[in-house]
A = this chain, B = another copy of it.
């Protein structure tokens, strides 16, 4: 959290939505940021210009986000985007607009959770040093898919790191298995999905070698946990001209 002489001026698009509202509160509570515009359906973007916003945060919807981006880029305003629905085609469109405005930065992230990104980075690094790796994800019972998208991606990252390090298959002497006991096999990494009332969103990645275990666990309890990642993006998007996908590169 580097201190700057003057606070960064921030406008929020989708300010009345669940996430937008949290962003407004978070920006308002940060001493190095100033909330200069709260914009939602029906409001005109002019207020962002009038407030001399340096960064816009967009948590709107797929049908308006592209218009917002074009307008912001044209006006030389950096944008942090949490809105979903970005296809490769849409990303190319954004890249095209940015090419004409080389100083402007746009950061689009599917997920602003810093802990989730760190868990993935740590898993990628640890994977090459341990004989075994296994994932247990735990979610509320209203979830449709098992395992979670995050668990699947983590397994893929681990599998890739193991392959790169020249590690072979993990030790596993299982001969008699009640169907499903050993979990789903994602690229050779076993993934277990627990579903229980009382759970929210949790993931445990276990690495083992003879004599020791290293465990990385993430418990996500509330979407307010995305705010540090949003603020980190707001603070850094001005130094990242062009299009940035995800917050990974902000974490070293």
A contacts, CB < 8 Å to B: 1-3, 113-115, 118-119, 121-122, 125-126, 129-134, 136, 138, 141-147, 152, 165-167, 170-186, 190-200, 206-228, 232, 251-252
Contacts and interface: CB of A to CB of B under 8 A. Distances in A.
A207 to B, nearest CB: 7
A197 B125 contact: no
Contacts of A197: 130-132, 170-171, 208-210
19 contacts: A115-B214, A121-B125, A122-B122, A122-B125, A134-B195, A141-B172, A146-B176, A171-B195, A173-B195, A177-B184, A178-B186, A181-B183, A181-B193, A183-B193, A192-B194, A196-B213, A210-B224, A212-B225, A213-B221
B141 A132 contact: yes
A176 B197 CA distance: 19
A246 B122 CA distance: 20
Contacts of A134: 194-196
A182 B182 contact: no
Contacts of A214: 115, 118-119, 216-218
Given A196-B208, A211-B224, A214-B217, 15 more contacts: A118-B126, A131-B198, A134-B196, A141-B173, A144-B175, A145-B174, A145-B176, A146-B181, A170-B196, A178-B184, A181-B191, A198-B208, A198-B225, A211-B227, A215-B215
A225 B209 contact: yes
A219 B212 contact: yes
Contacts of A113: 212
A117 to B, nearest CB: 9
